[in-house]
Chains A and B, each alone.
Chain A
Amino acid sequence: MMQRIKPFLLTNGPMLISIAIFILVYFAGSRVYPNMQKTQVFFNLFINQASLMIISIGMTLVLITGGIDLSVAGMIALTSAASASLLAKGASPALVIPLMLVMGVAFGTTIGSLIQFLKVQPFIVSLMGLFFARGMAYIITLEGLPIENPTYRLLALTKVYIPFLGKTYVYIPSLIGPILLLVVIYLSFFTRFGRTVYAIGNNEQSARLMGLPVGRTKIIVYAFSGFCSALAGIVWSISLLSGYGGYAPGMELDAISSVVIGGTLLTGGVGNVIGTLFGVLINGTIVSILQFNGTLSSWWTRIGVGVLTLIFIGIQSLFYMRKKHS
């Protein structure tokens, strides 16, 4: 029994710790602010962090291959601005939403292809993507554009009640993150594609020598990240009912730090999306504790996230050293 538990703990340790820290932080918060014990407050995390959750899921796969995608927040801004301006011109949401998703996939594919074929560092290419997406969003509209489409309004305001929990509700867009999470869990643990992603992250050279489709998988991963960020942009524009090039400033870093807090290594090959879910939830819990407090200022969020990231990296390197020795 012990022999089985030890490797399990060593491989999943960082993720288990992030789950433990989430429970701890939430528990501590609800001791101090009894209002946090309400189930609605817990589900508000899913409502408020819907976009962050979606881009973090896409980012996890990119980071597992050993790459990085800085363009996600820019893509949110571009999607919100583009869809707001299309809807204002009278286009139907049935056309706009698929169009935005196609745009996201095309954008991600371009970034992936540049990385794969021109052999440029992902950092630089996706930085270009960030500049491009934000710049295009500002070219579309320099000011915020309101969305008055009835379908978007309906999607934004319809409450979905959680079964067995009385009046606890989430909105329709906040369901997309958890559904996507299930899809990615299936993709990463039960398909050939998922195994290839991990193999590339561990050692790209040996993955190639094993005959795995390295180039194709890498491009698909970036395309998927582009798809996720377009999806997050749609969720963002539905929940705020407007579009603007300045939306989601610096969110790519929130996403990266959430993924790191969730136990994924930036060197690639280690990590999983379940940890990312808890990374995002920890991020959201800190924000809501600060909101409940009211007197603590917003900058403590950043300092808190920074300190948590530091703690996590410390824990990870401990686990890494243990693994190396055993």
Chain B
Amino acid sequence: MKNNTALLKRIRENRLFWPLIALALILVTDAIFVPGFFKIGILDGHLYGNMIDVLNNSAPLMLVAIGMTLVIATGGVDLSVGAVIAISAAMGAVLINPALGNKLISNEILTKDATNTPLVLIVLADLAAGTLCGLWNGFLVSRGKIQPMVATLILMVAGRGIAQLITNGQIMTIYYTPYFFFGNGFIFGLPVSIYIVALVFLFAWILVRKTSIGLFIETVGINAKSAYYSGISEKNIKLFVYTFCGFCAAIAGLILSSYVHSADGNNNGLNYEMDAILAVVIGGTLMSGGRFSLLSSVVGALIIWTFTITMYTFGVPANALLAGRAVLVLVVILLYSDYTQNFLNKFTDRKKVRHDATN
């Protein structure tokens, strides 16, 4: 009996417990109220269905959430990811634009299925732009000793302006077919974006769990000063996590712009910073830094999008959905609050005491 409660407690204290319960709850609701939510069919040689939509739509958010988890684990926050997504998308669109430098821009040239730069260069330029933005944030936080929230606020405000500057204020439509592979392509019936997420996740997981970098990040998040005295270069760890977060946001920008076939400085990746922070918090990583779990954050991103797609299938208008999202956050806040945790602890502890007494 005693072992049983201990096991229960261990399961409950696992980081994945609450996120998975929440995901299961939403999925059960779908199974009951939305007939055919789990139906997966085959069309043109690839799978389609609501669950595939969830996976494909949540891929950019998962990527950003992976980067954001590391940043939050060091006790910081990166508000600029949405703007970085816009910059990376704008970069791609401008490089593809077949009419670059051509004075006689006719509609025919603009809508041609051609590119100005090789695809490899486009991808590299996208990633470089995002990584550079991350590096800038990292420098401000680690070397400039500016609070993370303010330091990244600068790029958050200016970034969308920079994205518009790159595209000259226009919403650029992309007509180059190979570019769409990242957001709309399929490998073995599954969206390409999922494979990209898996790759980045694997890379990050090996980095933080198979090398000591993960421990360094947690140490910096728990107590930066003691990390410094233990000989950990707090500055370089911070520089690294912000750069990595910018890199993740750049990939997200690539996927997003390829998915919607356009680059729009104002709307690409709108509110992604908020959603990513939300995904990390839903995953149980504290905003004050310290212990983190990459997988929980990915599940958190999945929860947000499953919830969103569910609401769409219920016919809730996209804008009014925000109110539903507010309820989701409220539930998370209540669940993770000290009161609830204490109450649950007391509940299991009391049981244990009673067992001890009867024994």
Contacts and interface: CB of A to CB of B under 8 A. Distances in A.
Contacts of A257: 153, 157
Interface string B275-293: 0011001000001100000
A130 B323 CA distance: 9
Contacts of B155: 306
A19 B154 CA distance: 21
Interface string A116-146: 0111110111011111101110110010000
Given A124-B281, A299-B265, A317-B146, A306 B287 contact: no
A246 B319 CA distance: 9
B101 interface: no
B321 interface: yes
Chain B: number of interface residues, binned into ranges: 35 or more
Given A118-B338, A118-B339, A307-B158, A135 B321 contact: yes
B329 interface: yes
A309 B157 contact: yes
Most buried by A among B281, B288, B322, B336: B322
Nearest to B286: A121
A138, A256, A299 interface centre (most CB from chain B within 10 Å): A299
Question: Which range contains the number of A residues in contact with the other chain?
Answer: 35 or more
Nearest to B323: A135
B164 A297 contact: yes
A119 B281 CA distance: 14
Interface string B300-341: 000000000000000001011111111101100110111100
B185 interface: no
A310 interface: yes
B325 A131 contact: yes
Contacts of A121: 287-288
Given A125-B333, A299-B165, A313 B150 contact: yes
A299 B169 contact: yes
B338 A119 contact: yes
Contacts of B150: 260, 266, 309, 313
Given A121-B287, A139-B320, A266-B149, A302 B326 contact: no
Given A118-B334, A124-B333, A303 B158 contact: yes
Nearest to B155: A306
Interface in A32-81: 68
Contact of B157 (A114, A142, A253, A313): A253
B322 A128 contact: no
A135 B326 contact: yes
B5 to A, nearest CB: 27
Nearest to A309: B154
Nearest to A124: B281
B162 interface: yes
Contacts of A92: none
B329 A114 contact: no
A180 B158 CA distance: 30
B158 A256 contact: no
Contacts of A25: none
B324 A135 contact: yes
Given A135-B321, A142-B317, A124 B329 contact: yes
Contacts of B336: 120
B128 interface: no
Contacts, number: 124
B330 A128 contact: yes
A168 interface: no
A288 B40 CA distance: 55
B323 A131 contact: yes
A253 B330 contact: no
Interface string B29-72: 00000000000000000000000000000000000000000000
A202 interface: no
Interface in A257-302: 257, 260, 266-267, 297-302
Contacts of B25: none
B187 interface: no
B307 to A, nearest CB: 12
Interface string B75-108: 0010000000000000000000000000000000
Given A124-B333, A135-B323, A138-B317, A299 B164 contact: yes
Contacts of A314: 144
Contacts of A313: 144, 146, 150-151, 154
Nearest to B322: A135
A127 B274 contact: yes
Given A120-B337, A309-B153, A310-B154, A131 B322 contact: yes
Given A299-B160, A309-B153, 5 more contacts: A118-B337, A127-B278, A130-B274, A306-B159, A313-B146
Interface of A: 68, 114, 117-121, 123-125, 127-132, 134-136, 138-139, 142, 245-246, 253, 256-257, 260, 266-267, 297-303, 305-307, 309-310, 313-314, 317
6 contacts: A120-B336, A123-B277, A134-B323, A135-B323, A300-B161, A302-B158
